[in-house]
């Protein structure tokens, strides 16, 4: 039996192209489509609107943050999307990372507190409550909108496990996934959306490595140290990443990151690894390895996931 899966895009390609890729994924078995909120890339809600209109997929921002737009405006945006496609929208929140916040000149001092407050505000507004002077009187869904929370820190994951409908585990190491799933499932009823880069050939290993630049710059210091990244290397990776020089940044990263955070091997080995972890997640969200080869990647990955 194949695992439930979906596609996860960074909006680095034109919106019409994202719709084409989402349709391709849907034709091959995908059930959901996540779109990242990267601030200076294509707008996440414009992209999600086009995708939800052009496919039958369930969609979600994965993730938006409390800082780059006002939390009340975020609630109104996701409610508008849900009004357009009832029952096919999930909200997605997280603290955001360097790629979205630094170009906006933002360095939040209390990101977890802001996330917790935004989560509660959005939950109440989307349930029809008035919070202070804010309300969405025009939004009256038949069912409560599910809200997902993404994050690697223990406090964020605890918030997600205890209060959200879905915990997004992005690039959670496969070796640590069973323990993470056990903690989440013992804390509440949230589903788990697991995302990991698939490196099913030497070429895909090379395409995957640049994406770990984001993890290198935003991971806690102890995680970076365990991965062999000192402060000087991390600072240079951040500089190159924010300048869009991802492949140069990747040259500073240890290749072992692919094996630690991705799922690597032959297509059959990758499929088997995902199958062995099937009880640890409810849906697998497929990130793109490289923009230019997105369609080929979706097709190759669909075979792997549909046989996992």
Please say if the pLDDT value at position 179 is more than 70.
Answer: yes
Whole-number pLDDT of residue 46: 98
Q: Which helix (H) or strand (E) covers residue 170, if one does? A: strand 166-170
Strands of the sheet with 58-61, listed across from one edge: 58-61, 32-35, 5-9, 283-287, 191-195, 166-170, 147-150, 91-93
Split at pLDDT 50, 70, 90, the class of 130 is very high
My answer on whether omega of the bond before 39 falls inside 30° of 0, hence cis, is no
Indicate whether this model's pTM tops 0.85.
yes
Whole-number pLDDT of residue 62: 95
- C-alpha 264/C-alpha 68 separation (Å) is 35
The pairing of strands 91-93 and 263-264 is unpaired
- C-alpha 214/C-alpha 276 separation (Å) is 27
Indicate the range of 62-71, 74-83, 101-110, 282-291 predicted with least confidence: 101-110
Whole-number pLDDT of residue 244: 80
Please say if the pLDDT value at position 1 is more than 60.
Answer: no
Whole-number pLDDT of residue 43: 96
Q: What are the structural domains of the chain?
A: 5-200+265-306 (3.20.20.30), 201-262 (no CATH)
In a 10 Å sphere around its CB, with 0-12 CB exposed, 13-18 middle and 19+ buried, how is residue 87 labelled? exposed
Of 13, 92, 24, the C-alpha closest to 57 is: 24
Helices 154-163, 177-187: crossing angle, 10 deg rounding: 50
Residue 176 CA from chain centroid, whole number: 18
Of 88, 31, 42, 19, the C-alpha closest to 295 is: 19
What confidence tens digit (pLDDT) does each residue in 212-257 have? 887 777 777 787 888 888 889 888 988 888 788 888 988 898 888 8
Section 142-159 average pLDDT? 91
What confidence tens digit (pLDDT) does each residue in 14-23 have? 999 999 999 9
């Amino acid at each position: 039996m194949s695992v439930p899966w979906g596609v996860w895009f960074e909006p680095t390609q034109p919106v019409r192209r994202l719709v084409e890729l989402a349709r391709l994924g849907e034709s091959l078995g995908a059930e959901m489509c996540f779109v990242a909120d990267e601030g200076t890339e294509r707008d996440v809600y414009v992209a999600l609107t086009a995708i939800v209109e052009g496919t039958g997929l369930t969609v979600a921002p994965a993730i938006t943050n409390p800082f780059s737009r006002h939390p009340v405006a975020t609630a109104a945006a996701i409610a508008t999307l849900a009004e357009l496609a009832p029952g096919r929208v999930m909200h997605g929140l997280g603290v955001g990372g360097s790629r979205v916040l630094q170009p906006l000149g933002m360095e939040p001092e209390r990101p977890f507190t802001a996330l917790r407050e935004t989560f509660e505000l959005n939950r109440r507004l989307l349930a029809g409550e008035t919070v202070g002077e804010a309300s969405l009187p025009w939004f009256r869904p038949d069912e409560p909108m599910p809200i997902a929370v993404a994050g690697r820190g223990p406090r964020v994951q605890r918030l997600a496990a205890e209060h959200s409908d879905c915990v997004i585990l992005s690039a959670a190491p496969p070796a640590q996934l069973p323990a993470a799933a056990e903690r989440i499932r013992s804390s509440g009823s949230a589903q788990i959306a697991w995302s990991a880069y698939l490196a099913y050939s030497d070429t895909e290993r090379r395409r995957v490595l640049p994406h770990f630049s984001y993890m290198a710059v935003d991971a806690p210091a102890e995680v970076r140290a365990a991965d062999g990244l000192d402060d000087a290397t991390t600072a240079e990776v951040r500089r190159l990443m924010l300048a869009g020089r991802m492949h140069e940044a990747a040259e500073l990263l240890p290749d072992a990151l692919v094996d630690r955070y991705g799922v690597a091997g032959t297509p059959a080995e990758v499929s088997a690894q995902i199958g062995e972890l099937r009880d640890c997640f409810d849906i697998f969200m497929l990130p793109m390895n490289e923009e230019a080869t997105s369609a080929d990647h979706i097709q190759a990955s669909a075979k792997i996931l549909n046989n996992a």
